[in-house]
Each structure stands twice: as structure tokens, then as C-alpha cells.
Amino acid sequence: MKDRRLTPANKRVADPSLQSDWPGVSYVEPEPFAVHWPLVDLMNAPEGHRDRQLLFGETVGVYETHEGWAFIRSDKDGYVGYVPRSSLASSPQATHRVSAAATHVYDAPNFKSRDRMRLSHGCLLHGLGTEGSFLQTADGYVPMVHCAPIQEFSKDPVSVAKTFLDTPYLWGGNSRFGIDCSGLIQAALVACGAACPGDSDLQEETLGYELPADVSLQRNDLLFWKGHVAMIVDDARLIHANAHHMAVTFENTEQAINRIDQQGDGPVTCRKRVILSQAV
């Protein structure tokens, strides 16, 4: 059975690659668009529940628009679902990404001017130039100190994950304003130039390689449980978005393992080391 999250098909349209598996619909090539809201939920159905979230500037392919909803596939991780069509616009090539925890888009290249939008870490921007200490975009001005060139990647996933410390826990969240365990791992790895699925089961299945039991954990290694994932910080600590603290927190690794097991979620199912040379 195909994974619904990754299968670009519904009862009306499907990707041409699915012609032999998905009969009786129209086969269409996706049209390129980009998210033009600061943040939008990627839903399993129109007015359905949130699977993940998409950030400003992230690119998608649109298969159809029906009753105000666009059926799309995310270019970042291949997830499919529905977003309001009004959340999408043309997709100019991104030149920068938001590298700070969050930032504002201002009306003018002046921090005292009116702010138009608040953007999370990871949002993608198309710069038209610079004015003073600001990046000019079609939507306003963003402080350059909060931006990084699109081709410039971080080198340490833990350092990126620490940017999200104290972010409130949000099931299916992908931003500084709310994030879950797999969203945190995805944000950290994508910022380092590594491809990463959006959910922990797929992360466990596809990322890096499994560590033998006699290999010591090191910084940036991943621990998986059924439905949860965390990243090793050092010899004693991990970082994770978790519903126990309802936030992104550091936690003693041994204590976290014991707590999660005692709470009924079971033992660690896998320990993995990520290969950061995987290009997005």
C-alpha cells in the first residue's frame, strides 16, 4: 500500500508517474508555486487535520485547485496534501533563508518602521538587493543579520536545533512558533544541507545508518522511539521537542530514555548517525 503522505494522487488527479497504479483520474504535471503566507498547514484533506506545515518561500507543485483548495506536493520532502490556494503565489528563485530563530519583514529598511510579517527560521526569501543593513524583497525588508545566502549551509545540526529552544510543542509543527519532534530534526538537517523526511517513522527508515550497540553516541546522532525522535547534544544530553515539557528542551539522555519508557512509549527502537553530505 502506498504511503498517503507521499502519494501525489486523489480521486480526481494524479501525477503521471502513477498511471499504472491510479486509474480513472486525470494525470497532470504539477505547476510550480511558492508559499506566500508566513506559515500554512499542510492538510490531509480540505478542512482536514494538519500533517505538517510549510514555511514562507518553500516551493511546491500544484496538481489541482478545487473549491479554493490546492492539492500540492512539497519540493522539500515530497509530502502531499491540501493548502488554501490563496496561500500560494509565483515561485521566484530563493536567494536567502532566514537563519535566525525568527525575524520580521519591515515596511522600510528601518527597524522602527511598521512590520508586515513575522517569519520563522527556515523561511526562504527572494532578495532584490540590499539597502543599508536590510535585504529588500517584494514583500518588504528583512534584517540581513537574520539571513544567510541560500547556498550557505550550517555545519552542525545541534546548533540549529538549539535555535528552537523553548519553542512551544505543536503536533505537526514546523516553525519557531510551534514544532514537534520530527519537525525539529527536519529543520536542523535541512539547514545543514541534508535531505530529511517530515515524520519520525520515515526519518528512522531513511536517514543515515544504524549504530551497533557497542558504538558510543556522539553529537548529532539520533535516537528513535515509536513515534518520537531526539538528537544527541553531548555525552550527557539530548535535545528534542516533546509533549512532556510542551517545548523544545535539553534533557539528560539516560533520564529521557527511562522517562519515555516508563510513560508507556517503550524503549529506544533505533540509534542512527546521519550523513550530512546528503544534498537536499
- Nearest in space to 33 (alpha carbons), one of 76, 78, 90: 90
Give the per-residue pLDDT at 264. Answer: 84
CB 235 within 8 A of CB 170: no
Asked if the model's pLDDT at residue 278 lies above 60, the reply is no
Asked if the model's pLDDT at residue 187 lies above 70, the reply is yes
Q: What is the mean pLDDT of residues 46-66?
A: 98
pLDDT digits (tens, 9 = 90+) for 65-101: 999 999 999 999 999 999 999 999 998 999 999 999 9
Whether pTM > 0.75 for this model: the answer is yes
Domain boundaries, the chain: 4-89, 96-149, 157-273
Asked if the model's pLDDT at residue 121 lies above 80, the reply is yes
CATH 3.90.1720.10 assigned to 157-273? yes
What CATH code is assigned to 96-149? 2.30.30
Helix ranges, 178-278 (H): 181-190, 200-206, 253-260
**Long-range residue pairs from 210-214, CB within 8 A, at least 24 positions apart, any chain:** 210/270, 210/271, 210/272, 211/271, 211/272, 211/273
pLDDT digits (tens, 9 = 90+) for 9-52: 999 999 999 999 999 999 999 999 999 999 999 999 999 999 99
Place of cell 509543527: 173
pLDDT digits (tens, 9 = 90+) for 196-246: 999 999 999 999 999 999 999 999 999 999 999 999 999 999 999 999 999
Give the per-residue pLDDT at 59. Answer: 98
Name the CATH architecture for the domain at 4-89.
Roll (2.30)
Hey, do 4-89 and 96-149 end up sharing a CATH topology, with the first three levels equal? yes
